[in-house]
Chains A and B, each alone.
Chain A
Amino acid sequence: MTIPLTYIARNLVTRKLTTALTAGGMALVVYVFATVLMLAAGLEKTLVATGQNDNVVVIRRASQSEVQSGVDRVQAGIVESMPHIATGEDGRRLMSKEPVVLISLPKRDTRRPANVVIRGVTTAGLALRPQVRIVEGRMFRPGTAEIVAGRAVASGFQGAGIGETMRFASRDWTVVGVLDAGRTGFDSEIWGDAEQMLQAFRRAGFSSLIFKLDDADRFDAVKKEIESDPRLTLEAKRETRFYAEQSEALSKFINYLGMTISVIFSIGAVIGAMITMYASVASRTAEIGTLRALGFSRSAILVAFLVEALLLGLGGGLIGLAGASFMQLLSISTMNFQTFAELAFSFTLTPGIVAASLCFALAMGFVGGFLPAARAARMKIVDALRAA
């Protein structure tokens, strides 16, 4: 025989203030827990979606990012002549030789400078990234001092909005368009004509080569060919992997920090739940005795109090998740340690995070409720009845 759920739930409703305070504490913990997971998921999603599976990024060996890398024209030519590179509609190879540099621009809100990636691209470079669209204005004209800014850059940095100009490399550049890269890393970049950039920054070589494979499965063969050629000091990576690796340090940092904080917070919340449940058991001693006298078993009492604690946890979890889901409206922009450049990403709520947060809330309820429930179940009928 089990104690009905409505009976259990009503016990929580009776002590409104205590229930609200305990569930509120748990809600805050779940909110922080979910928010951190959402941040890490958003970062991962942004960078994983930046790459295409059949694209290959070639950078100088041992350089970890495009900005650190350097590929001279001779090496670029050798790579371009290799087989297995797809050809575009115009019959030319789908390979983009890109200079990538950082410039420091002041942010709109704080006026403090942050590093922004400037990428020189070619027509092939646009074909390689089908997710990038111009949403406002137009594309830059090759051979001019025109640039287009990613959405996050256009809204976040001074002089990066459409029609505005910015000065770098002793030249004024006009922003003629805003590009939307579908919430990928390119939203945080500024694009201009590759040859113009090379001239302006007085670079002799490129930073990276990006090309499309004619067959996505041929990657290993192409990688081997590039890395074993004695004339080349380059390494090749799948674009998806390349960008995933760039987020590793930051996402690890967010995860570690978030987990540490969640664990510390949950101790507080579990203690809150424990206090509430002990008080609940203590004030209902006579009631527990009556229930036992009526024939409810020890295990029924144990289950009843455990369920009460779990309900408390579930309530807190749902409130916390509801709060966290509003965070999806925000996006944050910070420096990625590995690339030394600004990267915008948003909080992303996935079904996995919902499940993890609710499990976490229930676990807090369980841990907080178990000892008090055990105390309730251990009571002797006579002693309990006498307590009133």
Chain B
Amino acid sequence: MLVALLVLKNAFRHKLRTTLTMVGIVVAITAFGLLRTIVDAWYAGANASSSARLVTRSSVSLVFPLPLTYAQKIRQVPGVQAVSWMNWFGGVYITERNFFPQFAVDAASFLDLYPEFILEPEARKAFLLDRQGAIVGRKLADQFGWKVGDQIPLRGTIYPGTWTFNLRGIYDGADKGTDLSQMFFHWDLLNESIKKLYPRRGDQTGLFVVQLKDPQEAAEVSEAIDAMFKNSLAETLSETEKAFQLSFVAMTEAILVAIQAVSFVVIVIIMAVMANTMAMTARERGAEYATLKTLGFSNGFVALLIFGESLGIALIGGLAGIALTFPVAHAFAEAMGTLFPIFFVSEETVAMQLGAAMLVGVAAAALPAWNTARVRIVDGLRSIG
């Protein structure tokens, strides 16, 4: 008990220095947490995906459509429960800055396949009945202040012209991993308009979503689907929804690696600052530690004092940093809008922050503790800090 008090008193002997060091640790741990959360947000789409769904798309690349007739054929593959299809729309709402994903979906089958999008029964009915209807996620509706009944105009980049949709429902998520920043509307509407403009591009869709009877059969079913269309004009590539989402993450992997590297660099920087503080502290107290040793305290005890002080400062700073991460992450998510649809600080991140703070504390104390243990008592008493 007395030792703990001594450590605490020691830590606050230089109030200004200790406070500055703590502030540094708070900033570093908060930044570390924020960066880890950004990395998590990147993988959020993959983590929220269902293992019972497959995505079938053109084997050449996503920009090539598949004929709609494939839906019937895929449905006949053993192990397939249901099939839906969707198309990336790529519309612009007022300006390019307001980016959010829009999909043309086969409404009825889509809502059955994605139970995580929760829609009230009346809204569901209204959406299914209105060919010009659309549904959006809660987060998106809040961002643009949309209410049910509003008209939403989108300027098509892939499908020319201005498209106007009636907002028929706002969906909520089954859990906090659900993406609430998307918009869905009727694929039939898109298809009919396209057929009039470009007959060759009609009755085609970007990808099929396949519901499996048994998630264990994912590999067999995707192989069976791809084999069926082998050597046809539009060969397919089927994979689990998770693999599909991860392929997007992989495309921007370079950025992700950079953010991860930077999140560790910030810890290294704060380690240098903290080590500096501890080195100065130990140097100033050379005579004091020598006195303790003269009185019979062991090297281990002196080392304990140094480690205790360093860990104490690091942990107090670290805990404050963790506490600060939540409001900062919230503010960051607000500022970024729909760029990161799913953004929350995970338990893993908090654990890593705590680990990093402890690592900083231990690493910073190592060199001064070793030095103090090594110095002969006589030299220690002679030192004047």
Contacts and interface: CB of A to CB of B under 8 A. Distances in A.
A342 B251 contact: yes
Interface stretch (B58-66, B297-305, B348-356): B58-66
A68 interface: yes
B270 A115 contact: no
A168 B23 contact: no
Interface string A35-62: 0000000000000000000000000111
A255 to B, nearest CB: 13
Interface in B74-107: 90, 92, 96
Interface residues of B, number: 51
Contact of B61 (A24, A64, A103, A333): A103
A40 B268 CA distance: 24
A267 B27 contact: yes
Interface residues of A, number: 55
Nearest to B275: A21
Contacts of A60: 160
Contact of A204 (B21, B200, B253, B269): B200
B250 A110 contact: yes
A114 B28 contact: no
Given A110-B250, A257-B259, A278-B17, A272 B273 contact: yes
B266 A268 contact: yes
Contacts of A274: 20
Contacts of A196: none
Contacts of A333: 254
A272 B21 CA distance: 8
A376 to B, nearest CB: 14
B116 interface: no
Contacts of B262: 32, 261
Contacts of B200: 204
A63 interface: yes
Contacts of B254: 332-334
B251 A102 contact: no
Given A61-B160, A233-B160, A264-B31, A271 B24 contact: yes
Interface string B237-281: 000000000010011111100010010011011101101110110
Contact of A112 (B20, B27, B31, B250): B250
Contacts of A233: 160
Overall SS of chain B's interface: helix
B172 interface: no
Interface stretch (B1-9, B46-54, B151-159, B208-216): B151-159
Given A21-B275, A112-B250, A269 B269 contact: yes
Given A62-B155, A275-B20, A334-B255, A29 B276 contact: no
B64 A101 contact: yes
Contacts of A309: none
Interface in A243-289: 253-254, 257, 261, 264-265, 267-269, 271-272, 274-276, 278-279, 283
B250 A114 contact: yes
B231 interface: yes
A68 B160 CA distance: 10
Interface string A56-82: 000011111001100000000000000
Contacts of A67: 63
B295 interface: no
Given A25-B273, A103-B61, A268-B270, A279 B157 contact: no
Given A64-B157, A103-B61, A28 B265 contact: yes
A326 to B, nearest CB: 15
Contact of A279 (B17, B30, B61, B231): B17
B7 to A, nearest CB: 20
A331 B238 CA distance: 32
Interface in A101-115: 101-104, 110, 112-115
A184 to B, nearest CB: 19
Interface of B: 16-17, 20-21, 23-24, 27-28, 30-31, 35, 60-64, 90, 92, 96, 155-158, 160, 200, 231, 233, 235, 247, 250-255, 259, 262, 265-266, 268-270, 272-273, 275-277, 279-280, 284, 385
Given A32-B265, A67-B63, A275-B277, 4 more contacts: A110-B253, A113-B247, A170-B235, A276-B280
Chain A to chain B: the 5 pairs with minimum beta-carbon distance, closest first: A335-B251, A334-B254, A272-B273, A21-B276, A271-B24
29 contacts: A17-B279, A21-B272, A21-B276, A21-B279, A28-B265, A28-B268, A29-B269, A101-B60, A101-B61, A101-B63, A103-B61, A104-B61, A110-B253, A168-B60, A170-B233, A201-B60, A233-B160, A265-B265, A267-B24, A268-B269, A271-B23, A272-B24, A275-B17, A275-B273, A278-B16, A334-B251, A334-B254, A340-B63, A342-B251
